[in-house]
Chains A and B, each alone.
Chain A
């Protein structure tokens, strides 16, 4: 029997419909390029054009072809002349705010001559439309240089960075009254997407800060714009920096590995979900807040804030100022964290507080809480829920000596709500961004790491409830992955309490409460010196040049962080409720 006979027998007499260039354009821009149900004219807004051509680029995989990705190949098209040309067209669009004639012509050629071409065509014939798509992608990216930030310059600012920043002013004015508000005047999907006519439920476009220097993906092709999934999948929020000055001074972080001890009863079984289902457990920070057996009163926000302020003051003998305090996963209850943040904002001159919190809302959430301050006022506050539940198996239950509270024969799932997936990008310096991951999320690729890879935050902080931060353990391995691609500096932070629970009685103490990994650098395990309460890290920064796969540099606009110094910090008069610090 011949192949064709088999197909006919199976009832597939006709060839399956193949998605074409026009199909994709109409999916990404369902109301037309300008919202008029027409696709003949090119988009006026570069992120809309970027969304359409980046989606085609991604789905067709065209970027892997020799002409775009192999500079030794005879048919490599990304020559110096080509770079000069696409840069010139992109700059013209950025300067005038209008799509240049070259862009209009390329778009018309794409739609009129290649609209019916299938996007999965690997033949040389398809290179004609692939080259147009590639050129449009690069031009849209070049036109958006600086978007998401505002340059500190005396020159005229480019149209798109200015228009986007101005729309953020409108958005934040509305969002300060209603935190659920979406959209500025021009851009209806801010802060989730820069697009105007692309539905946020299909895909989003955001600014980006790092271009991967390894691999061959659609992410390797752009310096300024990132293609992201639908908000229904994972919602990324980008807000521009409030401080647009170029900073050269180090960014100083005080890591407080609280709690310093964790009693086993902090882990408790949640009500049994029923026969034949895995049991679940809850974590209760109130059981580790007060470790003084003689004290009955709960620890107040005032007391906790005073403890942190005491550490900031103690750190001052080595360096000033402390810009940020970081505490591990689930360190505090949500309500207490909010009150502590209010006090720190008013009294400590901090830029930010980042801590893990446990919230009882929505059936229980494990969140990273970020409080961003300026001149003793709270500017921004966000809570990013953990995306993946911790699963405590028998090995882990035994490692953390929890067998008396959780049956090691069962698999125990963390009893938390993981819906409402979000990833917040905090711009904390001019051209520098920070993202946060919570424990398990560092190791699970979908969906949050896809966002991390696309945006390329300059600094990633992972809040963990984990054992010692050793390079060979899982946090070290996954931090290395992020440091390579997209090229972020990564800091993992756990509590001394969990580090201490992970050793057998009588074994030598582990003190590795944090791990630092920077691009092109060795992982550094950071130990808390005996009797200390915090670790002061000073991150130096420098601007470096990164290159896209096609060879375009970013003009040294990428900020890279390096660990410049680490010092132990001891509270001069530690309160009794923190317990014995090993």
Chain B
């Protein structure tokens, strides 16, 4: 699956529109501390899904 930067921008805008939970950053930070220290290995998808979407004029 490929996603575009436009998609990311839309998700980001949605997040800005809502009221975040109180003490969100503090709680998230606490969870980040217990997150696994290792990165997850990328999964090589089929060639069709690995093609990047070319974004046109993304602000």
Contact = CB atoms under 8 A, between A and B. Distances in A.
A, B in one complex:
yes
A178 B39 CA distance: 15
Contact of A169 (B12, B31, B34, B40): B12
Interface string B10-38: 11101101111111100110111011111
A191 B21 CA distance: 23
B41 A176 contact: no
Nearest to A376: B56
A563 interface: no
Which of A98, A151, A196, A378 has its CB near the most chain B CB atoms (within 10 A)? A378
Contact of A244 (B6, B14, B19, B49): B14
A162 B24 contact: yes
Nearest to B6: A377
A310 B14 CA distance: 34
Interface stretch (A267-275, A359-367, A567-575): A359-367
A158 B5 CA distance: 26
16 contacts: A35-B36, A44-B30, A45-B34, A97-B23, A157-B19, A159-B24, A166-B28, A179-B51, A186-B31, A186-B32, A186-B35, A188-B38, A191-B1, A361-B48, A367-B48, A382-B1
A383 interface: yes
A35 B3 CA distance: 31
B46 A420 contact: yes
Contacts of B8: 169, 172-173, 176
B14 A242 contact: yes
Given A154-B19, A156-B22, A240 B36 contact: no
B49 A383 contact: yes
Nearest to B51: A179
Contacts of B42: 178, 180-182
Which of A34, A156, A172 has its CB near the most chain B CB atoms (within 10 A)? A172
Contact of A362 (B17, B34, B46): B46
A383 B40 contact: no
Contact of A381 (B1, B23, B31, B56): B1
Nearest to A426: B1
B40 A200 contact: yes
Contacts of B53: 176, 378, 381
Interface string A12-43: 00000000000000000001001110000000
Contact of A176 (B7, B23, B27): B7
A422 B1 CA distance: 10
Interface in A357-397: 359, 361-362, 365, 367, 369, 374, 377-383, 385
Nearest to B1: A382
A334 B48 contact: yes
Given A185-B32, A186-B35, A244-B14, A179 B2 contact: yes
A156 B3 contact: no
Interface in A184-214: 185-186, 188-189, 191-192, 196-197, 200
Interface string A428-449: 0000000000000000000000
Nearest to B16: A169
A179 B11 contact: no
Interface stretch (A124-132, A231-239, A251-259): A231-239
A168 interface: yes
Contacts of B31: 44-45, 97, 163, 186, 196
Contacts of A377: 4, 6, 55-56
Contacts, number: 179
Contacts of B4: 176, 377-380
A80 interface: no
Nearest to B45: A180
Given A156-B19, A159-B21, A178-B42, A242 B7 contact: yes
B33 to A, nearest CB: 9
B36 to A, nearest CB: 5
A159 B26 CA distance: 11
B48 A231 contact: no
A155 B19 contact: yes
Contacts of A44: 30-31, 34
A362 B2 contact: no
A303 B26 CA distance: 56
Contact of B21 (A162, A175, A367, A369): A162
B27 A159 contact: yes
Given A44-B31, A172-B8, A424-B1, A383 B55 contact: no
A181 B52 CA distance: 11
Contacts of A95: 21
A180 B44 contact: yes
User: Which 6 pairs across A and B sit closest by C-beta, in order of nearness?
Assistant: A97-B27, A382-B1, A188-B40, A383-B48, A242-B10, A379-B7
Nearest to B20: A162
B11 A165 contact: yes
A379 B23 CA distance: 32
B27 A98 contact: yes
Nearest to A380: B3
A183 interface: yes
Contacts of B48: 334, 359, 361, 365, 367, 369, 383
A79 B32 CA distance: 37
Given A156-B20, A197-B36, A379-B3, A180 B43 contact: yes
Contacts of B12: 169
B3 A239 contact: yes
A255 B41 CA distance: 39
A153 interface: yes
A188 B36 contact: yes
